Amino acid sequence: MNYWCCQNGSIGDLMGIFNLFGKKDASSELTKPSPFRISTEWTPYSLYSNRNNSTILNIKLKNMTKETLLTSVVVELPQTLGFDTMGVSKEREVRVGELVADEEKDLGVEVYGGMKSDPGEYTVLLTAIAHYRDYGHVINAVKKRTTLKVV
């Protein structure tokens, strides 16, 4: 079998055609450093099991790039925890706004435990998202897991 690139040119010519149609080398995007640094702390450190009580997840989010980023943070909770006293809401998006280069923002999200919160450790997932133009377009995202102890 003869392929077009072997008859009429090299593989580099074929890559040039892909670049013409919008395909690009993604390896440079994969080696970029993380755009955010996320640190978390619980206040108080734990929840009491099988009781209606709450704790605050303190989030420190720092822009590690040299440009301004439109930013949001999504917090996802396991089944037995919630963002309200009834435990219905399991996901919350906090729209941070624009973070300039090296700026750090502090956020606080209240997390509730309830009658179904048995003793153990629960994993909470945070996703910091860099947006383009508006909150509907995503450039990059960084995920972090943190653990909440229920005693």
The SS3 call for residue 101 is coil
Residue 19, both tokens = 């670049």
Domains of the chain, earliest start first? 1-31 (no CATH), 33-150 (2.60.40.10)
66, 33 in Cβ contact below 8 A? no
Selection from 44, 33, 39 nearest residue 73 by Cα: 39
CA 116 from chain center: how many Å? 27
134, 70 in Cβ contact below 8 A? yes
**What pLDDT tens digit does each residue of the chain (151 aa) get?**
444 444 555 555 555 555 555 555 545 555 567 899 999 999 999 999 999 999 999 999 999 999 999 999 999 999 999 999 888 999 999 999 999 999 999 999 999 998 889 999 999 999 999 998 899 999 999 999 999 999 9
Q: Kindly give, in sequence order, each residue whose CB lies less than 8 Å from that of residue 72, ignoring residues fewer than 6 positions away.
A: 93, 94, 95, 96, 128, 129, 131, 135
